[in-house]
Amino acid sequence: MRYPQTFIEDLRRQADIVRIVGDHVPLKKKGSNWMACCPFHKEKTPSFSVSPAKEIYYCFGCHKGGSVFDFVMEIERVSFPEAIKIVAEKSGVALPQVEDDSRFAERRQDIDEVIELNQWALEWWEQQLDRSSAEAKAAREYLTKREISEETRKTFRLGFAPDSWEALSSYLRQKGATQSQIERSGLVVKKDEGGSYDRFRARLIVPVMDVRGRPIAFGGRALKPDDTAKYINSPETAAYTKGRNLFGLHLTRDEIRRDGFAILVEGFLDLILPYQFGIRNVVASLGTALTPEQAKLLGRFARKVVVNYDGDRAGVQAAKKAIEILLAEDLEVKVLVLPDGADPDEFVRTRGAGEYQKHRGGAQPHIQFVIDQAVKDRNLNHPPEKDAAFEEVLPYIRAVPSPLQKREYFDRVMDELRIVPALRRTFWNSIRTPAASTGNRKAPALNETPTVTEEQLLKLLFGDEGLRSIVVSKLELSDYDDLPTSAIFRAVVAIEQEGLAFNLENLSQRTNGDPVSSNLLPMLLMTEPAGGDSSTAEQRLLAAEGCIDGLRRLKIERRIESLRVEESAAARAGDIDKYNLLQMEQIELTRRRNELVNRQR
Ligand SMILES: [Zn+2]
């Protein structure tokens, strides 16, 4: 799905970047810019700024920056088309008719329908919880007993479904829903003989939201002690597929991103209570065992996960399963087991958030947890039991995609299980074969870091229009064509030559997809002219010329360096002619280099 370029440009111009960023961070005006503490890294003094005039944002701390679309993509973790949709929505701009696949459009309509009914149901359930009836009172007492505050209840939008077979259905019909819509929403159970009845009765309602905070499904906890099912959940609907969402993520993702790690728990209370006590980087897998889709979703917000499941047997088994799935997504996993088999809900209520954080800080690396579990209740002096322990640990080493990490974990296991060196090699060969998903993370190339000189020259060029036109005429392609920032130089020269507006839009269009550029452009645009107002145009031009000389000198020095290598190779090979030629080139280059050095003084 693609939007026309003209639409994107118009939207960028119409969108109020200050208001859209301001929805996520409290901005304060400072000069012509707006400042805040950065939402993308932890800090105490603001280094995150938004320039409405330049239509960009930039953080001087973590160097994230870009257009209003980049901001939405980064903070909401959505794709470019999705970011456009969100910005358009917030700016009151209608989206152009994009030719949708008709099946796609139909499906979208089904989803919206279910969500609308869910919204009606949730509002109604929230109201039911406030009623003066005895059963509503009992529901509120349950919350009090679990120490869930009024504020928390509102934050998580908890509700109460009264003990009735049709109260919700009639309400939905009153709102205008048809029987078929109600059945498709999953809020009712269809009867074989036709008709339906309310699915959730006499239950505390816990809504499951998507990342945008819309109710897509519900969990219901029984409030009547004689109820056979303690928990029931929504069935799958157009809006809800089991194992695709994480409970609480719409409230906790910003904290997770800032902290760089997430705590993964099982039940909704294990998230709600810690949240109330100020521990807000938590998600819950809720209802099902953790799925690869959930791990992938979590990985969009943090690369480290602390698994904090119940300490009982079932909890340990579930934790081990979760570890395997998280490792396959290349996430770093630690395991927290609370003392006396306590769950997070109970622990935080009785011992407080501080105690919890202390234990969390001591969470074990996953491999240690797995080893401990495998060794527990086994006699390692007894070979069959040792074999069994090894077999149990094996999958957790295999699942690690990084070869280095894998080796480290392997060695640890070998040491702990006291396996003799002769056997280690055999074992290693059996598991070293790379996991299916390797090699999606490239090591950054060494030459991708711009030098101080090129950055300084770019800052001068970006900060002064008059200087730009003079310097561009002095620059030669060879001055910048092998620099990490060559794409930016090329763009600057092109824009200058074509007489276009010097802004992020034109620049990023001409550096399309270059990673160095997308990191640097917002910073360069946001940086005030070097030297401030005190420097004269003359001084800035001298500085720029100094930079160009510096770049040329660096280039020559790099060439001399490689000449030396070639020379010694030629000498070793006895190729005198080649050696002499290289020597001559080196002498000439050294002369030019000295010239440049003298001029710089
Ligand atoms: Zn930052």
- Measured in angstroms, how far is the CA atom of residue 317 from the centroid of ligand 1? 38
- Measured in angstroms, how far is the CA atom of residue 50 from the centroid of ligand 1? 12
Instruction: Extract the tokens encoding 94.
Output: 């209608």
> 249-362 maps to which CATH number?
3.40.1360.10
List, as ranges, residues with CB under 5 A of the ion ligand 1. 38, 40-41, 59, 61-62
- Measured in angstroms, how far is the CA atom of residue 465 from the centroid of ligand 1? 28
Q: What is the mean pLDDT of each run of 10 residues along the chain (601 residues)?
A: 79 89 90 91 91 90 91 89 90 74 75 95 97 95 95 97 96 95 95 92 95 91 88 92 90 88 93 96 86 88 92 88 90 93 93 96 92 88 86 87 84 88 82 49 48 88 87 86 88 87 87 81 78 72 88 87 86 85 86 81 59
Which residues sit opposite 161 in a β-bridge? 203
- Measured in angstroms, how far is the CA atom of residue 59 from the centroid of ligand 1? 5
Do 219 and 161 form a contact (C-beta atoms < 8 A)? no
- Measured in angstroms, how far is the CA atom of residue 510 from the centroid of ligand 1? 26
| 222 CB-contact burial (10 Å; exposed 0-12 / middle 13-18 / buried 19+) | middle
Determine the Cα angle at 250 with ends 286 and 148, to 5°.
65
> Which CATH architecture describes the domain 5-91?
Alpha-Beta Complex (3.90)
User: Which positions ≥6 away from 116 have C-beta within 8 Å?
Assistant: none
Q: How far is the C-alpha of 127 from the C-alpha of 169, rounded, in Å?
A: 15
- Measured in angstroms, how far is the CA atom of residue 363 from the centroid of ligand 1? 27
What region does 199 belong to: left with phi over 0, alpha with psi -120 to 50, or beta? alpha
Q: How far is the C-alpha of 167 from the C-alpha of 86, rounded, in Å?
A: 36
Give long-range contacts, CB 8 A cutoff, 24+ apart: 357-362: 357/279, 360/263, 360/306, 360/308, 360/336, 362/336
Question: Within the chain, how many helices (H) and strands (E) appear?
Answer: 26, 16
Q: Would you identify the CATH topology of the domain 371-431? A: Pheromone ER-1 (1.20.50)
Q: How far is the C-alpha of 20 from the C-alpha of 73, rounded, in Å?
A: 12
Q: How far is the C-alpha of 105 from the C-alpha of 7, rounded, in Å?
A: 21
| 371 CB-contact burial (10 Å; exposed 0-12 / middle 13-18 / buried 19+) | buried
User: What pLDDT score does 196 carry?
Assistant: 95
Q: Which one-letter amino acid corresponds to residue 549?
A: D
Max Cα separation, the chain?
103
Q: How far is the C-alpha of 322 from the C-alpha of 292, rounded, in Å?
A: 9
Q: Is CATH 1.10.860 the right assignment for the domain spanning 449-600?
A: yes
Determine the Cα angle at 264 with ends 244 and 155, to 5°.
80
Please, what sign has the CA dihedral across residues 571, 576, 581, 585? positive
Which runs of E-coded beta strand occur in 381-431?
Answer: none
CA-CA-CA-CA dihedral for 491, 492, 495, 497, to nearest 10: -110
The domain spans of the chain are 5-91, 102-233, 249-362, 371-431, 449-600
User: What pLDDT score does 76 carry?
Assistant: 86
- Measured in angstroms, how far is the CA atom of residue 62 from the centroid of ligand 1? 4
- Helices (H), ranges, 23-156: 68-76, 80-91, 102-129, 134-145, 150-155
- Measured in angstroms, how far is the CA atom of residue 247 from the centroid of ligand 1? 27
- Measured in angstroms, how far is the CA atom of residue 47 from the centroid of ligand 1? 7
- Measured in angstroms, how far is the CA atom of residue 57 from the centroid of ligand 1? 10
- Measured in angstroms, how far is the CA atom of residue 71 from the centroid of ligand 1? 12
Do 125 and 224 form a contact (C-beta atoms < 8 A)? no
Reported as half-sphere exposure (CB side, CA atoms, 13 A), residue 17 has a value of: 22
User: What pLDDT score does 225 carry?
Assistant: 85
User: What pLDDT score does 177 carry?
Assistant: 95
Do 338 and 351 form a contact (C-beta atoms < 8 A)? no
User: What pLDDT score does 101 carry?
Assistant: 61
Instruction: Extract the tokens encoding 75.
Output: 């903070």
Determine the Cα angle at 48 with ends 331 and 522, to 5°.
85
| The CATH homologous superfamily of the domain defined by 102-233 | DNA primase, catalytic core, N-terminal domain (3.90.980.10)
| 530 CB-contact burial (10 Å; exposed 0-12 / middle 13-18 / buried 19+) | middle
- Measured in angstroms, how far is the CA atom of residue 38 from the centroid of ligand 1? 4
Residue 187 DSSP SS3:
coil
Which residues sit opposite 198 in a β-bridge? 188
Place of tokens 């009845």: 197
Do 34 and 27 form a contact (C-beta atoms < 8 A)? yes
User: What pLDDT score does 304 carry?
Assistant: 94
How is 506-554 classified by DSSP, letter by letter?
HHHHHTTT-HHHHHHHHHHHHSPPTTGGGS-HHHHHHHHHHHHHHHHHH
User: What pLDDT score does 530 carry?
Assistant: 52
- Measured in angstroms, how far is the CA atom of residue 46 from the centroid of ligand 1? 9
Which residues sit opposite 306 in a β-bridge? 263, 334
User: What pLDDT score does 182 carry?
Assistant: 96
- Measured in angstroms, how far is the CA atom of residue 134 from the centroid of ligand 1? 51
Kindly report the pTM of this predicted structure. Answer: 0.63
- Measured in angstroms, how far is the CA atom of residue 53 from the centroid of ligand 1? 21
Place of tokens 């009867």: 191
